[in-house]
Amino acid sequence: MDTTETFESRVRAEFNPRNTYLNTASSGLLPARTVTALHEAALLRAEGRPLLPLIEDVEACRAGYARLAGVPADRVAAGASVAAHSGVIAASLPAGAEVLTAEDDFTSVLNPFHVRGDLKVRAVPLERIAESVRPGTALVAISAAQSADGRIADLTALREAAREHDARTYVDFSQAGGWLPMDAGAYDFTACVSFKWLLGPHGAAFLTVPEDFGGLVPILAGWVAGEAPWDSCYGPVAELAHSARRFDLTHALFSYAGLRRSLELIEELGAPALHAHAVGLAGRFRDGLAGLGHEPLPAPGSAIVSVPGLGYRQAALSEAGIEVSDRSGNLRAAFHLYNTAADVDRLLAALSE
């Protein structure tokens, strides 16, 4: 069977948006199977049945995300937000440590390091991040793809520079995981939320850590972080989990129940197909913009396209049934598996008016 037909038929079976949705960089659409799982999870609670299936969903998500990220499941912690994961990393740094960041990166990646108050946080343009690693840099914290404009960090150069200067690396894949292939094992720490390109509900996020935990202290650990969680409900946790689960936060069970099905869909379709589809549509949009006399911000190879000066069109586009974002006056369109060439052409036609 033709691969394209298989991809398209599977997508059509899961998604039926009532508009032209080009805003995955803000929030992804939920597949039909995920909506069903959320409904079933709610019924489980409403009817007073045992919640063990929901707990099993958490572990299935951990394993599914681990496969997507390219690391063993015991290196994956299940949490709730990137900000919380960043906070654990920030809290584990010694006073005076230098943290290198990209200018205007997403707040969840940056703010926990700033509020410490006793860290040296240095920001440089994204394009200079690798060359700016220097002796004394303790950590480089960066998004794999920039939320505002889709620019992709040169992670290979960053990794090499960090290794040369004995600095640790922290990469947020929230705007990349699900369309850009991940290799979380190449970095000390990575994080990713579930509700964008992973197509899950809000309330779930992942953290990957080294086998030796990279010096992190599980300051947010509760009973789920115990080696034997049900024996860790009262008093201090006597024995933390021997895996990354020691960094788990209390699980939003409904979120993970739905996310399990979303991750299954992504795995079925395959990262290479998702990447080719999303980046191909973004390229079609960039080509069409050139024909209209508009030049997007440079972000080669990205599924996110940001067009200067057109952000003011967002409200009217939404009224016309086309969902995009306005980011600091720029129109941001994000392309994912449920988008089509017709979606691109509809947006271009609307912008030509």
| Shared-domain flag, residues 196 and 274 | no
| Shared-domain flag, residues 335 and 207 | no
Report the number of distinct structural domains present in the chain: 2
Tell me the CATH number at 232. Answer: 3.40.640.10
Whether 99 contacts 138, CB under 8 Å = yes
109 in any annotated domain: yes
Which residue has 């410490």 as its token pair? 116
Listed residues 235, 268, 301: the one ending a domain: 268
| Shared-domain flag, residues 53 and 26 | no
Listed residues 218, 243, 268: the one ending a domain: 268
* Cβ-based neighbours of 39, under 8 Å, separated by 6 or more: none
243 in any annotated domain: yes
Tell me the CATH number at 281. Answer: 3.90.1150.10
pTM surpassing 0.85? yes
Dist CA 304 CA 156 (whole Å): 20
38 in any annotated domain: no
| Shared-domain flag, residues 50 and 107 | yes
35 in any annotated domain: no
| Shared-domain flag, residues 26 and 168 | no
* Residue pLDDT, tens place only, 212-242: 999 999 999 999 999 999 999 999 999 999 9
334 in any annotated domain: yes
| Shared-domain flag, residues 139 and 118 | yes
Listed residues 215, 248, 268: the one ending a domain: 268
| Shared-domain flag, residues 17 and 82 | no
| Shared-domain flag, residues 140 and 205 | yes
- Least Cα distance to 194 among 333, 44, 64 occurs for 64
Dist CA 129 CA 215 (whole Å): 23
123 in any annotated domain: yes
| Shared-domain flag, residues 318 and 221 | no
53 in any annotated domain: yes
| Shared-domain flag, residues 232 and 86 | yes
Q: Which domain holds residue 225?
A: 43-268
* Residue pLDDT, tens place only, 111-170: 999 999 999 999 999 999 999 999 999 999 999 999 999 999 999 999 999 999 999 999
| Shared-domain flag, residues 218 and 324 | no
pLDDT string in tens for the chain (353-residue length): 455 568 999 999 999 999 999 999 999 999 999 999 999 999 999 999 999 999 999 999 999 999 999 999 999 999 999 999 999 999 999 999 999 999 999 999 999 999 999 999 999 999 999 999 999 999 999 999 999 999 999 999 999 999 999 999 999 999 999 999 999 999 999 999 999 999 999 999 999 999 999 999 999 999 999 999 999 999 999 999 999 999 999 999 999 999 999 999 999 999 999 999 999 999 999 999 999 999 999 999 999 999 999 999 999 999 999 999 999 899 999 999 999 999 999 999 999 99
68 in any annotated domain: yes
| Shared-domain flag, residues 68 and 151 | yes
| Beta strand residue intervals within the chain, DSSP E | 20-21, 76-79, 98-102, 120-124, 137-143, 168-172, 189-193, 205-208, 304-307, 322-323, 325-327, 330-334
